[in-house]
Structure 1
Amino acid sequence: MEEKLYSIGEVSKLANISIQTLRYYDQIGLFKPSHVDRKTNYRYYKDAQLYYLDIIKSLKYIGVSLEEIKAAQAFTPAELLSFLQQQENVIEKQINRMYEIKQSLYKTKKQMEEQLAIDMLDTVYFKNEETNRILSIHTNELTPYYIPNTYYSSLIKTLEVENSLLSNRYGCIYPYQPYNSLDELHYSHIFTPLITDRYITHLTTDMEVKTIPAGRYVCIAFIFEPDTYLTHYQKLYQYIEENRLEVVPIVYEIFMPINYSPNKADEFIVELKIKLK
């Protein structure tokens, strides 16, 4: 029995592929017609060829390039299996990457929501916090008056080496105690929040991954100005002492940008928060 032949238009409808695409596949040698009429130059395809077209469509669907598909057509079944396993690994990496991006968007949105929820500047308030992972650098003599950019640059460089996403926030940690001047207040750590769960491996000797623990915090927020920083801290300290609140003696300071334009003056909201026991 003579095998049925299909015109390019019929194949286009059967396989849901445009005629232009079929012509291109013929041109690059990926999927050639079984017969070309010399007089009319019409292309005709055999029934069995549609199977190979299905393979092309399947590989293209999972993101394989036409060049790779053409090479895969010469594979043995064992080689094709190995090739598909490689593609599976590629897709798995893409899925993990997309999950990280989704996770970073969620955490960045949450940070913005928390910032917008601060409607009481210069006033003590309470809030609940989830656990937050941070990348921190140990410091000695830094104060709110002066933090060299080299510290922030080191954090950024480490995250870039790790191919991890960056947060637009930075913070500092120092002991909870009475201070009479900013010269007495020395940071123990400079940090940036980690917005993915990626494991950080390329740490310098002065770096570590820490956590800001979940719990209820007593806080104060204000527009950052070095001359008023101590006044706000003392207001928070006085509130805690007068109300006899039991706290973990660690202050977490968070810098949050108010604008993101390089054409505007730098302006930040600072939040000081201390965990209740």
Structure 2
Amino acid sequence: MESRFSIGDIAKIHNVSVQTLRHYDKIGLLTPSYINKETGYRYYSSKDFVIIDLIKQCKSMGLSLDEIKEIIHNYTSLESILDIMKKQKDIIDKKISELNTIKNNISFLEKRINDSLEEGIDRIFIKEYPKREFIKYDNTNRFTVEFEINLSKALADAERKYNNFNKELAFVTSFEDLENDDKTIYKAMMLSFTDMLNVNDKEKYIIPEGKYITINFDDDYKDTRKYYARIMNYIRENNLKIKGDFYEIYAMTRVGNDGKEKSLGKLQIAVL
């Protein structure tokens, strides 16, 4: 007579919980080989050992229970098993690509935060920066509902086009208007992503390499006027000659437990 094993025995032998075995039975993945009609007790046979091992092997490859059931029910067909394996490899390759994108996004943001901390927060300095590329958008009516809607649309469009989420948001602000009329006039909005390989040259806005008067801040983005004032005073006090306009660049925005928004950003302008 073939040996019979209770559900508790099988759980101990194969290091599988009783609840898991009952679930397998419920969905038709692994049904006990024998049921005592008088007591209703369910028993497994040594044949079920092979099925349990196969289930474990398939789970280690990331297969779903439905896919494992298909393999078990068609275990005589090697072609069927190969087809499922190929599909699973394709799924894994896609997940690897997604994880690499996530890792690149983390590295992108990590570098921006580390750079800001190393340069210093809330202090003015002059530093050489490399050329930086952005995508230009016609959305300059800042601090309005219209701006927020257009920004969300631009982000969604860029994510679809460039398959990327982590970004820097930047603005070009007129130096001339600030110096002559004490007005902060936004001339362009830009986005920069971790991967800019497929961006058309016509869509690009390039911040040239060079020395920039810079201040990093971690503050409410609606309260940046004070940083413009500080840089303007710094320029006058040191009799510096500048070229071009201001660049207001943001790496991340977050909301604290107090409900207040904070943005990690930098304000800079090129110096001759």
TM-score, reference length from structure 2: 0.68
Determine if contact 1:172/1:252 at 8 Å carries over to the other structure.
yes
The letter of the residue matching 1:93 is K
- Segments of structure 1 that go 5 or more residues without pairing to the other structure are none
Percent sequence identity over matched residues?
24
- Residue 8 of structure 2 is matched in structure 1 by 9
- Segments of structure 2 that go 5 or more residues without pairing to the other structure are none
Q: Relative to 1, partners in 2 of residues 1:18 and 1:236: Cα closer, same or farther, differing over 3 Å? A: same
Deviation at 1:86, TM superposition (A): 1.0
- Residue 214 of structure 2 is matched in structure 1 by 219
- Residue 85 of structure 2 is matched in structure 1 by 84
Superimposed CA distance per residue, residues 46-65 of structure 1 (whole angstroms, 9 cap, x where no aligned partner): 33332222222222334433
What is the 5 A alignment of 1:249-260? 251-255=246-250, 260=255
Q: Relative to 1, partners in 2 of residues 1:10 and 1:143: Cα closer, same or farther, differing over 3 Å? A: closer
Q: Relative to 1, partners in 2 of residues 1:93 and 1:209: Cα closer, same or farther, differing over 3 Å? A: farther
Superimposed CA distance per residue, residues 13-69 of structure 1 (whole angstroms, 9 cap, x where no aligned partner): 232112232233223221122222333433333333322222222223344332332
Greater strand share, structure number: 2
Mapped partners of 2:143, 2:35: distance in 1 = 81
| 1:164 maps to 2:164 | yes
Determine if contact 1:182/1:230 at 8 Å carries over to the other structure.
no
Question: How large is the Cα RMSD of the aligned pairs?
Answer: 4.6
Determine if contact 2:213/2:269 at 8 Å carries over to the other structure.
yes
- Residue 197 of structure 1 is matched in structure 2 by 195
What is the 5 A alignment of 1:1-277? 3-75=2-74, 76-116=77-117, 119=120, 121=122, 124-127=124-127, 134-137=134-137, 149=147, 151-162=150-161, 164-167=164-167, 169-173=168-172, 180-181=179-180, 189-194=188-193, 196-197=194-195, 208=203, 217-221=212-216, 231-235=229-233, 237=235, 242=240, 251-255=246-250, 260=255, 271-274=266-269
Name whichever of 108-117 and 44-53 sits farther off: 108-117
Mapped partners of 1:226, 1:30: distance in 2 = 62
Deviation at 1:227, TM superposition (A): 6.2
Mapped partners of 2:101, 2:131: distance in 1 = 18
SS in 1 for 2:100: helix
Mapped partners of 1:92, 1:37: distance in 2 = 46
Deviation at 1:100, TM superposition (A): 2.4
SS in 2 for 1:17: coil
Determine if contact 2:124/2:231 at 8 Å carries over to the other structure.
no
Mapped partners of 1:221, 1:47: distance in 2 = 68
Q: State how many pairs are aligned.
A: 265
Determine if contact 2:212/2:270 at 8 Å carries over to the other structure.
yes
Q: Relative to 1, partners in 2 of residues 1:212 and 1:52: Cα closer, same or farther, differing over 3 Å? A: farther
TM-score, reference length from structure 1: 0.67
Mapped partners of 2:20, 2:173: distance in 1 = 65
Determine if contact 1:137/1:151 at 8 Å carries over to the other structure.
no
Superimposed CA distance per residue, residues 179-217 of structure 1 (whole angstroms, 9 cap, x where no aligned partner): 7426898766422332x438667x8xx973566678865
Determine if contact 2:164/2:195 at 8 Å carries over to the other structure.
no
